[in-house]
A and B are shown apart, each in its own frame.
Chain A
Amino acid sequence: MAYLRELTKDVEIHDPSKAYKGYTLYAPMFGNMAWLVDMKGRVVNYWEFEHITTNHARFTPDGTLIWMGRGPEAIEELASNSTELVEVDWDGKELWRYDDQYLNHDFICLDNGNLLIMRYTEIPKDIQTHIKGGIPGTELDGNMYGISLQEITKQKKIVWEWKNYEHLDFERDMADCLDPRYTWGYANSIAVFPNEDILISMRHFNTIARIEKKTGDIIWRWGPEHLLGHPHSVSVLENGNILCFDNGLHRRWLKPGDPLEVGTAFEASRVVEVDIETGEIVWEYVDPRHIMYTNICGSAQRLPNENTLICESKKGIFYEVTFEKEIVWKYRTPFVILRPSYFGWGESKLVFQAHRFGEDFRGFQGKNLDPERFEWVIQKKSKKAREEEEEVKRRLARLGY
């Protein structure tokens, strides 16, 4: 695999007085590396894994890193199907691993030390017949996959499980009519409430929902009627509100009088903060220049200083915006992945999510964060990789970069 570095400066905008100082963790999709970069875009640590990821890596509260890898046994057609969680320390030494052929998109470290994982689960045949919506005939060899959530201990014991087909409403929860049927209830992110309830984003229902931990019931939902389109990256904020990246794909048609901020008539993405009591949007970010749009993936993270870190996945661009919606940090991933991906062999700059960690994060205590260590990341390359890089540079230069 080759990582190619572009000519463009990685950090295009940086206002140190307003940005939330820290380090940003991300893992380019289809790559096998996770990168930790400082505010100037310099690599301060990286981790390399055996298998690629189609999702992301997260720090645990202890400062170890968990990588979601996609091994060869993954099912090609299941988007972001992963097969392993690998926990490593700062230096990349493997501490723990969990293998599950049906892992999917996201996992959360719980306060009790357990992990909440999301996985695909086959829907029993007799239940499949009740499921409506989606493009007719798009089952996968007659099979349909739902979503299950599992809480697992470090000893790999499953202590809690939730299956979406046992709790969703077949009349109401229909895949939108342009999405395939084989992944019913397609979900892509989870978050946890202080009382252990779970927040989940279900892309093909254009819905985010709260699952009561005790009963498994859906006790709150917010979705298409609020113009949500293929949402990603839910989180529960300290003020009790919910933050969500609203991609905008398959957004419901706009009725006259729809309360909509600038820009959503094109397929524009936005970040919404929702008051869970009233269902009202209390904060919203839409790119006024109308350029921020990613049909797939995407993330939003509220930072301690009230800024929001946004990942525009399709271009591999991260924005940090203030509460007043000023862009105070903008970063482009310099790593172009060259390998087979959704569109066959080719280039990708996709990044599933970006996570910022403040300087006081536990995982950084006593660690060497000197960017000088990794100058070689740019320089050490095979002849072929260098030639490829030159070619890409030439092409980009010609294209006006």
Chain B
Amino acid sequence: MSFARTHIKGLVFSDSRMAYRGLTLFTPVHGKGVWLIDMTGKQVNQWQMEYEPGCYGELLPSGNLLYGGKVDDGPLSDMEGAGGILQEFDWNGNILWEYQSHFLHHSFHRMKNGNTLVLKWIELPKKIAEKVRGGEPGSEREGVMWEDMIQEIRPSGKVAWEWIAHDHMEPDAFPRCPLCPRDTWLHANACIELPDGNLLVSFAKINTVAIIDKQSGDIRWHWGSPGELAHQHSPTMLENGNILVYDNGYHSRGLALSYSRVVEVDPRKNEMVWSYEGPEGGELKMLFYSSMYSSCQRLPNSNTLICEGTTGRIFEITMNHALVWEYVNYLPLCEPSPIHSRSYPVYSAYRYGINYPGLTGIKW
């Protein structure tokens, strides 16, 4: 309980007729490894890392693993979601490509043209920071508020394209979470390329997902604030053009009945067309909850893979919310963190079907 809080770890439930068959990739927050498991929970591959995750790994269509690592000695390495290094490995763990910057954070995305989208923190000019409202005064990081920069990086490491938030967003246009510290302004936590070349971005502290026009840098569409999303993660665009996003529900407004949701929104109408809000009906829905991390992925058979981050619970549901597969992370890969103790959170999880190009020739 959610069903998840049984004592069962590892594979909890599997309905092989209904689940979308493939391999599941996940990165425990406190480990130094990325795991690929089959539908029975058996490990098919494991990449051992030099760096702790900052924040996760993704299997590319080439079969390589792209991994964001956390470098400990960076100036911002104690910020939430800090990274520092991107590494690309082959199936056997050999490093093929590497990109470093102390200011990398959260998310990355390999583009169709082979370049890589990265998120970086840069200082928000003081004059603009003063106009940003929300958050306890004095909670800036040594007086500085950091903002988001998105860069497109060539394989050589050169910057092909760059977007800086304050060039395109007014400091007071979006209400910022009033409870979060002012160390970051928008706190982007995901950025992906859409089929038309524009970018889909999640800004956690303004509770907003947005589409950025790649040509002009303008915000073409945004949704979530005020009142819809709360510190969301992992937006993706589905084949039908809708946006799927994990709405954490952390610091949500209102009656303190916080819980997570996975929502599918039609950006043409700004209408929610599907959602999963935990066990059906009533107060039990509050048991589906992760204040941070988390991801969701719509699968080709229309099921949805959900990662409830803080509990380390990865599960798959049908459109009708029936549970068809569930796995709870239990891998104590490194020393328990002093903050997160003995829980086994997972930042995000991905399912790759048996026909995924990156798995061609792999025996499992």
A contacts, CB < 8 Å to B: 29, 79, 135, 176-180, 203, 230, 249-250, 252-253, 255, 262-263, 265-267, 288-291, 293, 295-296, 314-315, 337-338, 341-350, 396, 398-401
- Judge whether B339 and A263 touch: CB under 8 Å: yes
Contact A314 B282 (CB under 8 A): no
B 115-162 contacts with A by CB, 8 A? 134-136, 139
| Nearest-CB residue, chain A, relative to B292 | A266
From B6, B136, B178, B282, contact of A346 by CB (8 A): B282
The smallest C-beta distance from A175 to any residue of chain B, in angstroms, reads 11
Within B256-285, which residues are at the interface with A (CB < 8 Å)?
Answer: 256-258, 279-285
CB pair A291–B279 under 8 Å, yes or no, is: no
CB distance from B83 to the nearest CB of A (A): 19
Q: Would A265 and B340 count as touching, CB distance under 8 A?
A: yes
What's the Cα separation between A233 and B310 when bound, in Å? 26
B1 in contact with A315 (CB, 8 Å): yes
Q: Smallest distance from the beta carbon of B279 to chain A beta carbons, Å?
A: 7
Contact of A347 among B181, B255, B284, B323 (CB under 8 A): B284
> From residue B29, how far is it (CB to closest CB) to chain A in Å?
11
In the A-B complex, the 3 residue pairs with the closest CB atoms: A346-B282, A346-B281, A177-B178
**Among candidates A249, A289, A314, residue contacting B343 with C-beta atoms closer than 8 Å:** A289
* In the bound complex, CA of A371 to CA of B6 (Å): 28
Which residue of chain B has the shortest Cβ distance to A248 in the bound complex? Answer: B291
Closest partner residue, chain B, to A267 (CB atom): B291
Q: Are A401 and B3 in contact (CB under 8 A)?
A: yes
Bound-complex Cα distance A295 to B284 (A):
13
Known contacts A342-B257, A343-B257: A178-B252 contact under CB 8 Å: yes
A266 and B340: CB pair below 8 A? yes
Instruction: Flag whether B8 is at the interface (Cβ < 8 A).
Output: yes
Contacts of A338 in B (CB 8 A): 282
Check A230 against B291 for contact (C-beta < 8 Å). no
B251 within 8 A of partner (CB): yes
Give Cα A126 to B181, complex, Å: 34
A-B contact pairs, 29 of them (CB 8 A): A176-B178, A177-B179, A178-B178, A178-B252, A178-B253, A180-B255, A250-B251, A253-B139, A253-B180, A255-B139, A265-B340, A290-B341, A291-B311, A295-B257, A295-B286, A296-B257, A315-B5, A338-B282, A341-B283, A344-B281, A346-B280, A346-B281, A346-B283, A347-B280, A348-B282, A348-B283, A398-B323, A399-B3, A399-B323
Contacts A263-B340, A399-B13, A400-B12; is A347 near B179 (CB within 8 Å)? no
Closest to B343 in A: A290
Given contacts A79-B255, A135-B253, A253-B139, contact A343 B281 (CB under 8 A): yes
Q: Which residues B1-20 have CB closer than 8 A to chain A?
A: 1, 3, 5-6, 8, 12-13
With A176-B179, A348-B283, A401-B3 given, can you name 9 additional A-B contacts, CB distance below 8 Å?
A203-B256, A252-B136, A252-B179, A266-B291, A295-B257, A338-B282, A342-B257, A345-B282, A346-B285
Q: B256 contacts A265, CB within 8 Å?
A: no
- Which residue, of A176, A290, A338, A401, has the highest number of chain B Cβ atoms within 10 A? A290
List B85-128 residues whose CB lies under 8 Å from chain A. none
Given contacts A253-B139, A296-B256, A399-B3, contact A288 B250 (CB under 8 A): no
Query: B49 at interface (Cβ–Cβ under 8 A)?
Result: no
CA distance A262 to B343 in the complex (A): 11
Q: Are A290 and B255 in contact (CB under 8 A)?
A: no
- Residues of B with C-beta under 8 A to A341: 282-283
**By the criterion CB–CB under 8 Å, are A178 and B254 in contact?**
yes
Question: In the complex the two chains form, what is the Cα distance from A293 to B279 in whole Å?
Answer: 17
- Contact A179 to B343, CB < 8 A, known contacts A250-B251, A266-B310, A343-B283: no
Per the bound structure, the CA–CA distance linking A295 and B290 in Å amounts to 12
Q: Decide yes or no whether B342 CB sits under 8 A from chain A.
A: yes
CB-CB under 8 A from B254, the residues of chain A are 135, 178-180
CA distance A315 to B286 in the complex (A): 9
A-B interface contact total, Cβ < 8 Å:
129
Complex Cα spacing A34 to B82, Å? 49
Q: Please name all residues of chain A whose beta carbon is closer than 8 Å to the beta carbon of B258 when the two chains form the complex.
A: 249, 267, 295
CB distance from A255 to the nearest CB of B (A): 8
CA distance A400 to B208 in the complex (A): 35
**Residues on B with beta carbons closer than 8 Å to the beta carbon of A253:** 135-136, 139, 179-181
Partner of A178, one of B251, B279, B339: B251
Closest to A293 in B: B289
Residues of B within 8 A of A347 (CB): 279-284
- List B151-200 residues whose CB lies under 8 Å from chain A: 178-181
Kindly report which residue of chain A lies nearest to residue B80, judged by CB atoms.
A265
Question: Which residues from A are CB-within-8-Å of B238?
Answer: none
Establish whether residues A249 and B256, one from each chain, have CB atoms under 8 Å apart when the complex forms: yes
> In the bound complex, how far is the Cα of B255 from the Cα of A296, in angstroms?
9
Tell me, yes or no, whether B326 is within 8 Å of chain A by CB: yes
A347 to B341, CA, bound (A): 31
A178 touches B282 (CB 8 A): no
> What chain A residues lie within 8 Å of B300 (beta carbons)?
none
Query: A residues within 8 A CB of B8?
Result: 400
- Are A262 and B256 also in contact (CB < 8 A) when A314-B286, A349-B284 are? no
- Pair B250/A267 contact, Cβ less than 8 Å: yes
Q: Report Cα–Cα, A342/B259, bound state, in Å.
A: 13
Interchain CB contact under 8 A, B13 and A400: yes
Q: What is the minimal beta-carbon distance from B98 to any residue of chain A, in angstroms?
A: 30
Residues in B with CB closer than 8 Å to A263 are 339-341
Most buried by A among B251, B280, B341: B341
Looking across the interface, which residue of chain B has its beta carbon closest to that of A255? B139
User: Could you say which residues of chain B place their CB within 8 Å of the CB of A230?
Assistant: 256
Chain B residues contacting A349 (CB-CB under 8 Å) are: 283-284
> A345 to B285, alpha carbons, bound, how many Å?
12
For B340, the chain A residues whose CB sits under 8 A away are 263, 265-266, 290
Interchain nearest-CB distance for B358 vs A (Å): 30
Query: Given A266-B292, A342-B255, A400–B283 Cβ distance below 8 Å?
Result: no
Cβ contacts under 8 Å, A346 to chain B: 280-285
B338 within 8 A of A: yes
Within 8 Å of chain A (Cβ to Cβ): is B60? no
Contacts of B279 in A (CB 8 A): 347
Chain B residue nearest to A296 in the complex (CB): B256
Is there contact, CB below 8 Å, between B341 and A289?
A: yes
Say yes or no: A343 contacts B323, CB within 8 Å: no
- Which A residues are CB-close (under 8 A) to B135? 253
Q: Which residue of A lies closest to B309 (CB)?
A: A266
Residues 242-256 of B, flagged 1 when their CB comes within 8 A of A and 0 if not, give 000000001111111
Closest to A262 in B: B341
Residues of A contacting B5 with CB < 8 Å? 291, 315
